[in-house]
Amino acid sequence: MTPLASPVFVGRAAELGRLDDALRRAEAGEGAAVIVGGEAGVGKTRLVEELVARADEAGHAVLTGGCVELEGDGLPLAPVVEALRGLARQLGPVGLVGLVGDRRGELARLLPELGRGALPAAGEDAHSSGRLFDLVLGLLEALAAARPVLFVIEDLHWADQSTRALAAFLLRNVRGSRVTLVLTYRADGVGPGHPLRTFLAEAERLRWAAPSGRERTRWVERVELHRFGRVEVAQLVGAILGATVPDSLVDDVLACSDGNAFFVEEVVAASQDGSLGVVITPTLREALLARVDALPAATRDLLRVAAAGGQRVAHRLLAAVAGLSDEQVWEALRAAVAAGVLLVDQDAGGYAFRHALTRDALHDDGLPGEGKHLHRRYAQAVEADPCLVGGPAQAAATVAYHWYSAHDHVRALPALLHAAEAAECSYAYAEALRHYERAMASWDEVADPGALTGKDRLAILEAAILAARTAGELRREDELLARARVEASRFGDPVRLALVLTEQSRLQRKLGRSDGVSEAQEAVRLVPAQPPTPARAAVLVALGKAFSSVPRRAAGQAAMDEALAVARATGARRAEASALLSSDCLAPVWGEPIDVRRGREIAVELGADDLILASYTHESDTWLGAWRFDEAILVGQEGLRLARRLGQERASMIIAGNVVEAMIGAGRWAEAERMLAQLAELVPVGINAMFLSELRGEVALVRDRLDEAATALATADSLRAKRFVDSQYVLPSARLWAELELRRGDPGAVADRVLETLAHFDLPDVVRYVAPLLAAGMAAAAEAAVVARVRRDAEGLRRALDGAGRLAAVAAELPFERYPSGEAFRAMVAGELARAQGGADPGAWASAAKAWGALGVTYQRACALRGLAESLLAVGDRAAAAAELRAAAAIADELGAHLLRRELGELAVAARVVLSGPGEPVDGLTGGDAETCAADGPPLGLTARELEVLRLVAAGSSNPQIASALFISRKTASTHVSNILGKLGVATRGEAAAVAHRLHLFDRAGSNAP
Ligand SMILES: Nc1ncnc2c1ncn2[C@@H]1O[C@H](COP(=O)(O)OP(=O)(O)O)[C@@H](O)[C@H]1O
Ligand SMILES: [Mg+2]
């Protein structure tokens, strides 16, 4: 059971960024020192290793040394000696000695292997450390004359006095050099009175000394390494095990390790034995208990009592259980706090173990029976005086937990149920779920649990399922539903079984597994139609929803209509609200969501929080469909605030996803990215994970991070079972895929796959998703056609035109007009179709731009302007094209639409248009005369000869072919080609050819063709 290290370096982007900056400052001769602090095992060494690798890569000389823990005085200057030995290995002894010149003798005092050390001269001793420091600094500077230097000293908390003094000396003196000094220390290892504190104070003083002269920033910096959050723990566990890991494992590892990297590794190693959280490896136990063992006996005893109390324990409760006075508790725990074993939790008036694992190790370390005994005392103490701990919910939870841990199930079972209900009252659903799960375990230990609780087992399962759903714990809900299905079948009550099935139907979709139709159909079969009942209405709603995700809208509508009728006839208000809320899935509305709001009114009347929240999902989605992003954001954020208040943030991630989608639509990508990062902390699973990953891809695309977009898309696709084709997920993913394929893959393959995808759907039902997909597909077909023409690839051209034709046929049948932005998309499809056919349709693009303008969708308008500019160039109207290009570029700049901006830039270079704004190649022109020059003069600033060469390049000729055609040498031909690439600002002959064709350079009358 050896702990495995992660092969992958996880997280720490910001910290590494700051360290990287330090390297850059050293390269620039500014000098930099970074002090890295963090608790043991948090990842200081690993971070430094990563930095060393980067410095190495960047050609820095690297020296590293570490302080070692020794009883009494450490080996003087051990880290310096270690670093110098490493250097001697790199440079050879001669190289090293060469750096110090005539001070070899002094150096040899540190490194005896260099030969006889010089004897200190008489009276030198008093200054010897000063001379030595000078020697080390001189050596670093000599080394830095050739290349920048990174000097790392690790674990400074263990340093001897000389090393500390040397570190302080270097800290002051690296300023203005080509040296980066990195020092690490254990923040939890330097309590009051620790000698490193003086050093840290000095460092702090230097840090706040005002930067001056050439320095851009302070040369002394501090980096605090914190424990990993949930996202990093998940990555770390995944990397260690080399597999995707279930969320439950991540949860457990996070809970045990508190995000400390070393503990994560240990806990994962322990979990390999299937004993997660129970068995603590011997090395880990040793590491954890070492500090406790050094404490006084009274402290250790009280710590053991505290450990039975849990990760945190209130002061008064601890005193009551231990039977000690306040003073005695303070007296005993002071040492534990000073040693960093316990933290004082001022707000809660108690203590917390710094590491949950220390608490576990202590608890496991007790005598047989001791733990149970302590738990019983805790339970009794809180029962006797609930005020010992926080509020009533907390008291209930504490009592239940301790009876359960004392294995007194007769007392535990009712206490757990009471605690679960109390948790629900305070919106703590994950807690409630934990209580219910324990209650189910206790249930099996008690002789007559039914009599004890007045409930049946299925009822507890049902309560647990509801808690899991409300907490957003989809996977737990899934497991519980499977158990409930078995239990309900055994029970022989068809209606209860049917209700379990409706939940399963919904969850199948949420987990991205299937449409859930079969579960819903089975549920409908189980509940008789006559007489009409609320249960019948509920199962019909479930069926209607299941059908809405597949192309069976008519059946879905029929089920939903019947559901509504039955609900109204039987006064089943919940089912009625639910049906109204889902109506937009079946019959989309593109404006005021009237039914949804009516559904919400009923939900509010009923106080049904889940339905109220669902109404925000539906309403924000309706506004999204109408391209009314501001409304979608407002409504979504209102829903999120409510979700947060109700403790249902995780269960409402889809609302958050809608808000992100709206931000993307509105061009507010920075906000969207921030929100996506926050949402990742909530660990989305199933469809939530898929949806958010797709959105990450969307942002990455517009931001011109195409690799990241492709990865995000692949992740999204993998999170959805292939056979589960729900339009709202499949079609947007296909569109993103088409956009990416257009730019980095094979545009010629796009049309086929788009058409294949569309074949699954009744298109008029899903215009909303089909319209953008058709536009993206047509753009790819047009690009494929342009490239095929350039390459004289007849087969490619035929295929591209065929694809374009078939897409056009689909477009001709599509009722674009039913959809708010439909006309804009229709026009864009027409514009791209013209391009595919070798022509240009500025009119189509102009109306697309106008339509987007009317909708207030700025980014799409800029995309249409790009199309307009391109088509104007194709018809030879450069002046007009230049104006559109500039307008589009201004929008792209303002929004930060990097991909669009880059593509506009490329188009501008090809057309020799100067875009205002930074970073654009100017090609020898100023903004003022761009239009005149664009209108006449040699195309693209090429000489007549270069135009001839370009013409041949565009026709696919090689350099030798060009040489023989033009009677020039191959070398000259090659020179012309490079000059052309340079002038066009492109990297390959293919791109040059594409530019020529895109601008119709050689097919216009009056062109400079030879
Ligand atoms: N960013 C990281 N990515 C992957 N593994 C890490 C990371 N940080 C720490 N670890 C692992 O956790 C363990 C403890 O980290 P370490 O750097 O030795 O901690 P420290 O030096 O702060 O005591 C090591 O085995 C290390 O490989
Ligand atoms: Mg370390």
Q: Whose CA is nearest to atom 4 of ligand 1?
A: 9
* Ligand at shortest distance from the CA of 262: 1
Q: Which residue did the predictor score with more confidence, 127 or 570? A: 570
Q: Confidence class of residue 293 from pLDDT cuts 50, 70 and 90? A: confident
C-alpha distances in angstroms, 292 versus 329, 339, 341, 362? 16, 8, 7, 9
C-alpha distances in angstroms, 565 versus 533, 896, 942? 11, 51, 74
Whether pLDDT at 166 is above 80: yes
Burial per residue of 310-339, b for 16 or more beta-carbon CB atoms within 10 angstroms, e otherwise? bbbbbbbbbbbbbebeeeebeebbebbbeb
Residue with tokens 């058709």: 774
Task: Tell me whether strands 342-345 and 350-353 are parallel, antiparallel or unpaired.
Answer: antiparallel
Output the CA 566–ligand 2 centroid distance in Å.
67
Residue with tokens 């989309």: 588
pLDDT at residue 565 in the model: 95
Q: Confidence class of residue 930 from pLDDT cuts 50, 70 and 90? A: very low
- CB of 40 sitting under 6 A from ligand 1: yes
Residues 63-67 have a mean pLDDT of 88
pLDDT at residue 188 in the model: 78
Residues 865-879 have a mean pLDDT of 93
Residue with tokens 């926080």: 390
Whether pLDDT at 415 is above 70: yes
pLDDT at residue 324 in the model: 95
Dihedral sign for Cα 901, 903, 907, 912, please.
Answer: positive
Residues 82-109 have a mean pLDDT of 82
Range of lowest pLDDT (277-291, 421-435, 779-793):
277-291
pLDDT at residue 360 in the model: 79
Whether pLDDT at 411 is above 50: yes
Q: Confidence class of residue 931 from pLDDT cuts 50, 70 and 90? A: very low
- CB of 43 sitting under 6 A from ligand 1: yes
- CB of 990 sitting under 6 A from ligand 1: no
Whether pLDDT at 274 is above 70: no
Task: Tell me whether strands 32-38 and 179-186 are parallel, antiparallel or unpaired.
Answer: parallel
- CB of 48 sitting under 6 A from ligand 1: no
Q: Coil, helix or strand for 6?
A: coil
Cis amide bond preceding 918, omega within 30: no
Residues 711-729 have a mean pLDDT of 84
The pTM of the whole model exceeds 0.75: no
Q: Confidence class of residue 106 from pLDDT cuts 50, 70 and 90? A: confident
Range of lowest pLDDT (317-321, 507-511, 762-766):
762-766
* Ligand at shortest distance from the CA of 69: 2
Output the CA 218–ligand 1 centroid distance in Å.
28
Q: Coil, helix or strand for 383?
A: helix
Residue with tokens 């602090």: 37
- CB of 287 sitting under 6 A from ligand 1: no
- CB of 45 sitting under 6 A from ligand 1: yes
Residues 403-413 have a mean pLDDT of 95
Whether pLDDT at 941 is above 80: no
Q: Confidence class of residue 712 from pLDDT cuts 50, 70 and 90? A: very high
Tell me the sheet residues that pair with 838.
Answer: none
Q: Which one, of 832, 814, 834, lies nearest residue 823 by Cα?
A: 814
Output the CA 185–ligand 1 centroid distance in Å.
14
Residues 153-182 have a mean pLDDT of 87
Whether pLDDT at 917 is above 60: no
pLDDT per residue as tens digits for the range 598-634: 999 999 999 999 999 999 999 999 999 889 999 999 9
Tell me the sheet residues that pair with 151.
Answer: 63, 181
Report whether 526 contacts 514 (CB < 8 A). Answer: no
- Average pLDDT along the chain: 86
Dihedral sign for Cα 310, 316, 322, 326, please.
Answer: positive
Output the CA 187–ligand 2 centroid distance in Å.
12
Output the CA 2–ligand 2 centroid distance in Å.
18
- CB of 9 sitting under 6 A from ligand 1: yes
Range of lowest pLDDT (57-71, 144-158, 320-334):
57-71
Angle between helices 247-257 and 230-241 (to 10 degrees): 110
pLDDT at residue 213 in the model: 52
Which H or E run includes 275? none
C-alpha distances in angstroms, 346 versus 306, 307, 340, 387? 16, 18, 15, 17
Q: Whose CA is nearest to atom 15 of ligand 1?
A: 43
Among 16, 46, 182, 185, the mutation site with the greatest number of ligand 1 atoms within 8 A of its Cβ is 46
Q: Confidence class of residue 882 from pLDDT cuts 50, 70 and 90? A: very high
Task: Tell me whether strands 220-224 and 32-38 are parallel, antiparallel or unpaired.
Answer: parallel
Output the CA 293–ligand 1 centroid distance in Å.
25
- CB of 46 sitting under 6 A from ligand 1: yes
pLDDT at residue 91 in the model: 83
Whether pLDDT at 825 is above 70: yes
Residues 771-791 have a mean pLDDT of 93
pLDDT at residue 667 in the model: 95
Dihedral sign for Cα 312, 314, 315, 318, please.
Answer: negative
Residue 794 is encoded by which pair of tokens?
Answer: 């007849």
Output the CA 247–ligand 2 centroid distance in Å.
29
Range of lowest pLDDT (367-371, 775-779, 844-848):
367-371
Convert 600-619 into a string of H (helix), E (strand) and C (coil). Answer: HHHHHHHCCHHHHHHHHHHH
pLDDT at residue 938 in the model: 53
Q: Which residues contact 256 (CB under 8 A, 6 or more apart)?
A: 263, 267, 276, 277, 356, 357, 360
Among 2, 4, 6, the mutation site with the greatest number of ligand 1 atoms within 8 A of its Cβ is 6
Whether pLDDT at 126 is above 50: no
pLDDT per residue as tens digits for the range 459-505: 999 999 999 999 888 888 999 999 999 999 998 889 999 999 999 99
Specify the ligand 1 atom closest to the Cα of 225. 22
Give the N- to C-terminal CA distance of the chain in Å, as an integer.
77
Angle between helices 822-836 and 842-855 (to 10 degrees): 160
Output the CA 232–ligand 1 centroid distance in Å.
12
Q: Confidence class of residue 940 from pLDDT cuts 50, 70 and 90? A: low
The secondary structure of 476-503 as a DSSP string is HHHHHHHHHHHHHHHHT-HHHHHHHHHH
Report whether 482 contacts 513 (CB < 8 A). Answer: no
Report whether 923 contacts 909 (CB < 8 A). Answer: yes
pLDDT per residue as tens digits for the range 516-554: 999 999 999 999 999 999 999 999 999 999 988 766 778
C-alpha distances in angstroms, 294 versus 73, 286, 336, 796? 19, 12, 10, 78
- CB of 261 sitting under 6 A from ligand 1: yes
Report whether 305 contacts 319 (CB < 8 A). Answer: no
Q: Whose CA is nearest to atom 23 of ligand 1?
A: 41
pLDDT at residue 46 in the model: 92
pLDDT per residue as tens digits for the range 214-238: 554 578 889 999 999 988 999 898 8
